[in-house]
Structure 1
Amino acid sequence: MTKSQLSKEDLRRYIKNFWLVVIGGIAFVSLLILSIALGLFGKMPSFRDLENPKSNIASEVISGDGKTIGTYYLENRSFVKYNELSPNIVNALIATEDERFYEHSGIDFSRTFTIVFYNLIGKRQGASTITQQLAKKLFGRQKTNIFITKMKEWVTAVKLERNYTKQEILAMYLNTVDFGSNAYGIKTASRTFFNTTPDKLTVEQAALLIGILKGPSYYSPVRYPERALSRRNTVLQQMYKDEVLDSKNLEIAKAKPIKLDYNPESHNEGLGAYFREYLRGELTKLLDNGTIKSKADGTPYDLYRDGLKIYSTIDSRMQEYAEQAEREHLPYLQSQFNQHWKGMRRDPLSDLSPGTLEQAMRRTDRYRELKDLGKSDDEINKEFKTPVKMTIFSWKGEIDTTMSPLDSIKYYKRFLRSAMMAMDPHTGYVKAWVGGDDFKYFKYDQVAQGARQVGSTFKPFVYTAAIDNGFSPCMKVPNEPVVFEDFDNYSPKNADGKTGGMYTLREGLAQSKNLITMYLMKQLGPKIVAKYAHDMGITANIDPYPSIGLGVADVTLYEMVGAYSTFANKGIWTKPIYLLRVEDKNGNIIYENKPEIKQAISAQTAYVMCYMLQGTTTLPGGTGLRLRGSKYKFDMPIAAKTGTTQNQSDGWFMGVTPDLVGGVWTGCEDRSVRFHSLNLGGGANMALPVWALFMKRVYADPTLKISKGNFEKPADLTIELDCSVYVGDSTDVDHDEHEPPPSDSKDKDRLGF
């Protein structure tokens, strides 16, 4: 056999062996891929999993004007569809992560082999396509052989490409990625960094967000703006290279500085934090008791994982105005409070009852944690007196300091608290809800949780009962003491202690004369007055004693605003509504709220009460006259009532307009921490300014369309409102027999103004 013959045989053998290896390798890989697809190397996502990929999707709270005002989440993630994405974000993603995205079917083999070469020569490159990255994010990377893991990703990527369009894959990818700053997904990132939506992202904004994906911490535009700028410009250059950005717009975009509108989201911060927390509790109850429908498989929805759409009545503009009003007034009022006590040369906490600080200490998380560790009371007291580093609240921002936990309790008790709620009286929709000063530091919600004495804001219920039972607003009543013989001779005084003169009922209400109110209480009886308050939505316990007319009952701001809305809604009480409906992530309604309404008083009585309450802001001596003064300059019809409780512990203001009713409460956590001056501690100084500042902003916003017109007059009005032509006298009214006074005769000590 010759050399040439031997070479030909060897060549044939080599070629045969080569193809055997190639075909065998292909067969092996194919068999391996088939085995992986069948789940022999671990569970693979099923077709159902691919149709419904699991992800922790945040549930969104959506305002009445269509804004997302907060989320409930494990991962702060909200989903969008492809048609809700700006072309800029799509172009930036493809140019940076996967230039051949539209050309491959999940795996870009040419790119894979190229990247292998780059890695061999020491240039590390990522070879995963967008679809492969999505597969990894959706279904996780298991801790197995890296080769098997990669094969699983390939199989999943191909399945994704078969089950979804390219546009759907892009949207899914952008919905799953982490942008840092607790922002998962493009919708949350757009809102967090630019306070916008994904469809409105500019070229430079889109490039910045895609740039962040390379390293959310390393390229954070908040912490490392120079790195983020450099990375953004790299993405812009890639977009130019991919021919989705021309040279002119490239230079324009690169020349722009990073301009953030940074709004990091957390449960403690953001718009309507108190409202969102209260709503979260209510939603949890609805989910737990089955009121909200379950999923198709019978399992309940998860508020933190299932991407529910929660539609509220809150108006984001009014909510912002309400929070701004509180932030503007409270620091000024706190300054008055501090100067007031400084002038008295006393500590505001000097009137605290014994044991108050110890009780406050026992309510803290720190105390409970120490108790759980088995610490004795002496050890706990020592801990609370030991200074530690902490961050505390101030009206000028957070302060890092060193303070003992006990001193921090004392520090916070000196702060004035305030709450506000506003609602549409016709629909019952709550438009603004501010539960306190700062949710991060003051968790207690004073709108719906904090019931306090309401003072003179209760008096309109007395007058409502009187008007509804035949009394005239023009009837004159002597401003003289009234004695309740059946109630241990209870006989309260006016706030200023003065007596004498005759006042019409309208004047008595406008000037908040206690003795005029007590005259009506004597005529009507406490039971009738309590019934009218309950008919108008007050659910709090109201003991049938004369002092209820002066506001000794503890009532929430939520119920007071709802009750006052009856006046502006022709006598119809509508329970305040803050939740409209809940939808699943696909838009299916799983809960819908139903309004609760009833005719509480006649339309005529309601209109007359609006007329009488306008006297508070128009008649001489009216307690709300400052609304007409040089500071606020309101000239539209406003029905209102101020309220101040015993010892100036609570200041209230209730404002009623035809389209919007609002209420404000202001005071300290402990009722003994207070102003010692009625001028400073009255509702007109403590609470009225918040309502005024809020309404100034509301009226100045034409998009809200809040009327400055008058209250609608009933066509069948028979009560004479022109006191110059009124002829009449006191009207005797039948009323229930009084109950005997309480045995301990403490009624005298519960006086409110």
Structure 2
Amino acid sequence: MGKRSGLLKMLGLCLLAGVLVAGILFPVVGVAGVVSNQASDTVESMSAELADEPPPQLTTVTDRGGKPIATLYNQYRVPTKPDQISDAMKWSLISIEDRRFYEHTGVDWKGTLRAAISNSSGGDTQGASTLTQQYVKNYLINVTYRDDEIGQQRAQEQTIARKLKEARIAIQLETRMSKAEILAGYLNVVEFSRQIYGVGAAARAYFNTTPDKLDVNQSAMLAGMVNNPAVLDPWNNPEGAKNRRNVVLDSMVDNRKLSEEDAERLKKEPLGVVKGGPNKPAANCVGAGPEHGFFCQYVEDYLIRSGIPKDELYDGGYTIRTTLDRRINHLAKKSAEEQVPKMTENVANTLSMVRPGKKRHEVVALAANRDYGLDKEAGQTTYALPSDTWNVTGAGSSYKIFTAAAAMQHAGVGIHDSLPSPGSYTSSRYTNAGAPYTVGNAGEYPPNLTLQDALAKSPNTTFVHLVDRVGMKPIVDMAYKLGLRRTMQSNAGNGGAIDKEAGGQYAMSQRKYYGPRENSRGMPSFTLGVSPTNPLEMANVAATILSGGTWCPPTPVLKVTDRDGNPVKVDENPCQQVVNEDLANSLAVGMSKDDLPGGTSAAAAEAVDWSRPMIGKTGTTQSNASGAFIGGTPQLAAASMVFKPERPMGGIVDGGPGNVYSVSGEGNIFGGKSPARTWFNAMKKIMEGEPVRQLPKASPRYK
């Protein structure tokens, strides 16, 4: 029965050879011809893809000067040309996998028949696939179907149909590519375990060298690995890897590419791989390190939201030149850590920085007291603390900026107009679950204040009075216009669910933001900043005000190029004139007294001898659970926030620089304490040497 089966296999292979040759050399007619031609088209396109389309490559992320900070990849691969691979590597692979490589034209019929005879007679099992066929299979598995398990399974099926297709593609490929190109192509796609693909990456990862410098010993180990890379991993299975290396050395002797004496000598040598595991970069933003990881994470998130799928970002071989300023980012992080040590449990201190402008708002720094990384015991995190909505308790009274702007635009309020500031105020327009909505002030204030003084001193009653006067919809719309775009996707203007019955729609990707209805529960509390808030977007609010009312997306990208150096267009939202320039300039003047005596950040400003013109606004939330300071100079806007990213119940105690910690009860943090100190300490150093620029003049219309 065994001999008969073997003969049938041989007959089948002979027939297969005839079909292959006939399908390539002779035309086919009739219905069968249509099918055959369709199959030929598929084979033709597949062989063209292998010949012309490069496999996945890693993406490089750089700072604004072009210096790399991280790599992103699913497959660690270093593209390698034929002349960049050592002869030792080439002959090691050919000797163990396909000794007749330079003799056949894609399919080794002599080897195929020999394998069939060996298999049918109970000898060693031999696959008989040429390197060209293996190139086809590896390309399908590691490139074409890299994210498709079913496709990968089909590419490895032991069926005549699959073998036929693979063989036809291999034969076509040999008409398109030289032997040197096919060999290099194979060595660029084959897997070497641990996300390492291709000989260029393998040379670096395993031996800290380049593929042109691989010696016989190193080459033999790598050539042996392709048979089963996971099992033959030299760190997990050094004995197995060494035995397989020795088999390759013997095959080189049999192939007359190595003397027997040299082979025996090399077998006694150690594998020589780098100690402790592969020498390769991190596959994601962890590679940017503790200081730049948050910025890298924002770059990734931003590009994905801009329409580049994550797999494409990780496989595309892009070079992303970012807007990151290393000096500014370093000073920002240093200031954040000085106020709140990185190991402080459940307290984050973030500083996000944006350059104002009418054409672009470039993000230059995203820093936090905590390090970016995977070691939780060292206080590291991969939460995008400075650039996403992790401050779930809110930014406090900094939201009064939106109420002030809406009152100026819709109620004709000027920055020097007198407004009431009673100790307690009950809303005449809104209720709290049917009961009167009443707020009080945290300190003593004069009975009346100008809007400018109210922004500096921050009485709650003045701004809830303005909410009654203006209504919630203009205020919530103003928050969105000035910069809280993503924040408002999880914020209905009252910290609750989005109310779809209201107006004020703004398209955001495939979602819409809807403002709240009149008399919604707790609605006036929006002006007190009780809702989850994105720190970077608050920095961009300040940038919008300092840009004459021009909102631009907070971009982290200067330029993106593809693997060939061609520019790639990033689909970024266009800048918008969201409020008129007179209003924005007047609002800036209205926010210009926070750092002066009587202002809520005056102590922090005085401590660093601050003297530059600036805008600013502090914020503190209920139970002193978080604090914020938002401000900027004409050259740079920034937002500092101190909050609890995990288990936000309770407050934060601020006992001075380096003595800030979380408590389960009431805290004592204020926006004018560690948030303002973080902001001023960083900005003082960052702005050294920069010219002093004045704020714009207020318009008579809004005075």
| TM-score of the two chains, using structure 2 as the length reference | 0.57
Query: Aligned pair 1:47/2:52, yes or no?
Result: no
Q: C-alpha distance in 2, partners of 1:654/1:190?
A: 50
Change (3 A) 1:96 1:708: farther
Identity %: 20
Secondary structure of residue in 2 paired with 1:46: helix
Give 1:566 deviation, angstroms: 0.2
Residue 509 of structure 2 corresponds to none
Residue 169 of structure 1 corresponds to 182
Residue 34 of structure 1 corresponds to 18
Q: C-alpha distance in 1, partners of 2:533/2:617?
A: 16
Are the counterparts in 2 of residues 648 and 678 from structure 1 also a CA contact under 8 Å? Answer: no
Deviations, residues 710-746 of structure 1 (Å, cap 9, x unaligned): 57658xx5449xxxxxxxxxx9989xxxxxxxxxxxx
What aligned pairs does 1:338-417 form with structure 2 within 5 A after superposition?
415-416=346-347
Secondary structure of residue in 2 paired with 1:265: coil
Q: 1:457 aligns with which of 381, 385, 398?
A: 398
Q: C-alpha distance in 1, partners of 2:616/2:552?
A: 19
Give 1:438 deviation, angstroms: 6.3
What aligned pairs does 1:135-150 form with structure 2 within 5 A after superposition?
135-138=136-139, 140-143=155-158
Residue 499 of structure 2 corresponds to none
Change (3 A) 1:732 1:595: closer
Equivalent residue letter for 2:400: K
Q: C-alpha distance in 2, partners of 1:504/1:127?
A: 88
Equivalent residue letter for 1:183: I
Q: 2:690 aligns with which of 704, 709, 713?
A: 709
Secondary structure of residue in 1 paired with 2:652: coil
Deviations, residues 422-455 of structure 1 (Å, cap 9, x unaligned): 5454324556678997689888766445564320
Change (3 A) 1:607 1:156: same
Are the counterparts in 2 of residues 452 and 554 from structure 1 also a CA contact under 8 Å? Answer: yes
Residue 513 of structure 1 corresponds to 458
Q: 2:482 aligns with which of 536, 561, 570?
A: 536
Are the counterparts in 2 of residues 637 and 710 from structure 1 also a CA contact under 8 Å? Answer: no
Q: C-alpha distance in 2, partners of 1:104/1:689?
A: 75
Q: C-alpha distance in 1, partners of 2:547/2:375?
A: 36
Aligned residues: 569
What aligned pairs does 1:432-511 form with structure 2 within 5 A after superposition?
447-448=387-388, 452-464=393-405, 471-472=414-415, 481=423, 483=425, 486=428, 490-494=438-442, 497-499=443-445, 509-510=455-456
Residue 624 of structure 2 corresponds to 648
Give 1:518 deviation, angstroms: 4.0
Q: C-alpha distance in 1, partners of 2:164/2:439?
A: 88
Give 1:226 deviation, angstroms: 11
Give 1:221 deviation, angstroms: 6.7
Equivalent residue letter for 1:134: Y
Segments of structure 1 that go 5 or more residues without pairing to the other structure are: 1-25, 117-121, 243-253, 287-291, 293-300, 338-414, 700-705, 721-730, 735-753
What aligned pairs does 1:538-577 form with structure 2 within 5 A after superposition?
538=484, 540=488, 541-542=492-493, 547-557=525-535, 559-577=537-555
Q: C-alpha distance in 2, partners of 1:323/1:454?
A: 23
Segments of structure 2 that go 5 or more residues without pairing to the other structure are: 1-9, 24-31, 116-122, 141-154, 259-270, 430-435, 494-515, 661-668
Equivalent residue letter for 1:162: T
Are the counterparts in 2 of residues 330 and 416 from structure 1 also a CA contact under 8 Å? Answer: no
Change (3 A) 1:620 1:597: same
Give 1:648 deviation, angstroms: 1.6
Deviations, residues 613-644 of structure 1 (Å, cap 9, x unaligned): 565557576527547857xx999776544422
Equivalent residue letter for 1:176: V
Q: C-alpha distance in 1, partners of 2:679/2:384?
A: 18
Q: C-alpha distance in 2, partners of 1:305/1:620?
A: 50
Give 1:667 deviation, angstroms: 1.6
Q: C-alpha distance in 2, partners of 1:235/1:663?
A: 60
Change (3 A) 1:144 1:719: closer
Give 1:143 deviation, angstroms: 1.8
Are the counterparts in 1 of residues 553 and 574 from structure 2 also a CA contact under 8 Å? Answer: yes
Residue 374 of structure 1 corresponds to none
Are the counterparts in 1 of residues 389 and 533 from structure 2 also a CA contact under 8 Å? Answer: no
Q: C-alpha distance in 2, partners of 1:663/1:212?
A: 52
Secondary structure of residue in 2 paired with 1:562: helix
Q: C-alpha distance in 2, partners of 1:331/1:221?
A: 46
Residue 577 of structure 2 corresponds to 599
Residue 649 of structure 2 corresponds to 672
Structure 1 window deviating more from structure 2 (274-283 vs 89-98): it is 274-283
Query: Aligned pair 1:178/2:196, yes or no?
Result: no
Are the counterparts in 2 of residues 664 and 691 from structure 1 also a CA contact under 8 Å? Answer: no
Q: C-alpha distance in 2, partners of 1:187/1:502?
A: 73
| TM-score of the two chains, using structure 1 as the length reference | 0.54
Superposition RMSD on alpha carbons, in Å? 6.7
Q: 2:90 aligns with which of 90, 94, 97?
A: 94
Query: Aligned pair 1:263/2:288, yes or no?
Result: no
Q: C-alpha distance in 2, partners of 1:505/1:599?
A: 24
Deviations, residues 644-677 of structure 1 (Å, cap 9, x unaligned): 2111222334353525645546224444233266
Change (3 A) 1:267 1:600: closer
What aligned pairs does 1:97-108 form with structure 2 within 5 A after superposition?
97-98=93-94
Residue 372 of structure 1 corresponds to none
Q: C-alpha distance in 2, partners of 1:210/1:320?
A: 47
Give 1:94 deviation, angstroms: 2.4
Q: C-alpha distance in 2, partners of 1:582/1:667?
A: 35
Equivalent residue letter for 1:161: E
Residue 670 of structure 2 corresponds to 682
Secondary structure of residue in 2 paired with 1:643: strand
Change (3 A) 1:518 1:70: same
Change (3 A) 1:261 1:30: closer
Give 1:50 deviation, angstroms: 0.7
Secondary structure of residue in 1 paired with 2:402: helix
Deviations, residues 379-433 of structure 1 (Å, cap 9, x unaligned): xxxxxxxxxxxxxxxxxxxxxxxxxxxxxxxxxxxx3456665545432455667
Equivalent residue letter for 1:143: Q
What aligned pairs does 1:205-224 form with structure 2 within 5 A after superposition?
213=226, 216-217=229-230, 220=233
Are the counterparts in 2 of residues 523 and 733 from structure 1 also a CA contact under 8 Å? Answer: no
What aligned pairs does 1:726-741 form with structure 2 within 5 A after superposition?
none
